[in-house]
Amino acid sequence: MASWLDTESPVRFDDLAIPESIRKTLISTSTSSEPPHMLITGPAGVGKTTCWKLFARQILGPGWKSTAHVLQARNLVRKRGAMASFEEFLRPNGTNSDTLAGRMSLDAFDRGISSSDQEESAPAGSELKITDGKLPISRLIVIEDADHLGHLRQAYLRRMMETTGAASRFILVARASSRIIDALRSRSQLIRIPSTDRDQIVSTLSSIAENNNCKPEEGVLEDIAYISGGNLKKAIFTLELLNIRGLDSHRASVHKMVQASTLQAGRHLLELALRGKVVEWKWEKKGGRNRKVLSGAMAEVDNLMNNHGLDATDLVSQIHSVIVGRRLSIHPSLRMKMLNDLSECDVGLQRSTYPRIHFERFLHRTATAGKHHGLSVR
């Protein structure tokens, strides 16, 4: 069964839960005869991916998926041969003369022939008209989580932009524009999406609940909006999870579920670190074969970030809540040491595109402090 994040995804710009000024900018740029390269930024879960998909649908027409090429830059992190993979994406045939951005597709000329149903209608309300003698945009290259590219690959991308064909455009999607080099920012139109305000989240959740015969108890939607902290994606996911578990009629379930899944996990990862178990490996049987899988505190970090949808800022907040909330029975001096180390970790995260490195450093420091206080089992 499809997730509500998919079934309730907006199909028109007017349906986006973003400020009106940003909606107007997306409409005007996507219907322009000369759309610019785009840089879409904003915190987690505010609709960046939905925005670029509607932008692509408007520019490329009903067959947009065939000529919108997407690279998830986060997958390049810690990958052997990452630069080669990046170059292969941009130059599929491995030659300087044949680039993805330089290719042209005839699909753009078919938009007037294709018939579309209501769900596939143009996001701006009408399809683009092809002007005689004007070459339409026929290909989009999308880089998701572009702030994970690093300076070397961003510089390579800048050179590629300079040789882009008239029928291609780049869309960069990132958390913060500060992690994108000036040369790329200056060549792109910036769309900065803020955190979704609480009233908008409640309104969106109310509409989704009505569409899916979900009848939450009074106050549940407001509680979800409060807990989500401006992350609309997290709010929708939480409501759907409550509905699946039959807990949407109990207001207390919202807090119990979130606290149980994040605070307990946060406490567990710190307890593992204090005992010296930062990076552990164990054998598990999967698909009839024994596989070596990560365990220990770093496995809990991956679980919270990948399975619970916490970003680096969320995780720092959760760890801080565990330390200061007296959920750990530790000496005051150790508590202060952990807070100081967490503060350094937070500062490092603001300057880095690789959050996992800083969390691992913090946890190793915690392990060393735990050993000093006689808590380590090593």
Q: Is the pLDDT of residue 233 over 50?
A: yes
Q: What mean pLDDT do residues 160-167 have? A: 78
Q: Tell me the pLDDT tens digit for each residue of 260-287.
A: 556 677 888 999 999 999 999 888 877 7
Residue 251: pLDDT band with limits 50, 70, 90? confident
pLDDT of residue 111 exceeding 70, the answer is no
Q: Indicate whether 24 and 149 sit together in one domain.
A: yes
Tell me which of 163 and 141 has the higher pLDDT: 141
Do 43 and 164 reside in the same domain of the chain?
Answer: yes
**Least-confidence region, from 149-153, 192-196, 247-251:** 247-251
Helices (H) and strands (E) in the chain, counts: 14, 7
Model-level pTM greater than 0.95? no
Could you tell me the two tokens for 338? Answer: 């952990």
Residues of the chain above pLDDT 90, percent = 41
Per-residue pLDDT for 21 more than 60? yes
User: What is the pLDDT at residue 115?
Assistant: 45
Q: Is residue 254 in some structural domain?
A: no
CATH number assigned to the domain comprising residue 134: 3.40.50.300
Task: Clarify whether residues 18 and 163 are in a common domain.
Answer: yes
CATH of the domain at 208: 1.10.8
Q: Does some domain include residue 285?
A: yes
Residue 334 falls within a domain, yes or no?
A: yes
Q: Which residue did the predictor score with more confidence, 66 or 364?
A: 364
Q: Would you say residue 101 has pLDDT above 80? A: no
Domain extent, residue 147, equals 4-192
| pLDDT over 80 at 28, yes or no | yes
| C-alpha triplet 258, 325, 331: angle, nearest 5° | 140
Whether residue 139 sits in one domain with residue 14: yes
Residue 118 has pLDDT above 50, yes or no: no
Q: What local confidence, expressed as pLDDT, does residue 116 receive?
A: 47
Burial of 115 (0-12, 13-18, 19+ CB in 10 A): exposed
Same domain, 225 and 320: no
Q: Is the dihedral of CA 315, 316, 318, 323 positive or negative?
A: positive
* Continuous segment of H or E residues that includes residue 362: helix 355-372
Q: What was the pLDDT predicted at 372?
A: 92
Q: Report how many domains make up the chain.
A: 3
- C-alpha 282/C-alpha 234 separation (Å) is 31
Give yes or no: residues 224 and 269 share one domain.
no
Mean pLDDT of the region 145-159 = 89
pLDDT at residue 39 in the model: 97
Higher local confidence (pLDDT), 313 or 342: 342
Mean pLDDT of the chain: 85
- What integer is the mean pLDDT of 331-350? 92
pLDDT of amino acid 223 = 87
Torsion of the alpha carbons at 203, 204, 209 and 212, rounded to the nearest 10:
150
pLDDT at 72 over 80: yes
| Structure confidence at residue 75 as a pLDDT band (50, 70, 90) | confident
Question: Taking residues 217-236, what's their average pLDDT?
Answer: 88
Residue 117 has pLDDT above 60, yes or no: no
Q: Is 37 inside a domain boundary?
A: yes
pLDDT score of 244: 85
Instruction: Specify whether 289 is located in the same domain as 357.
Output: yes
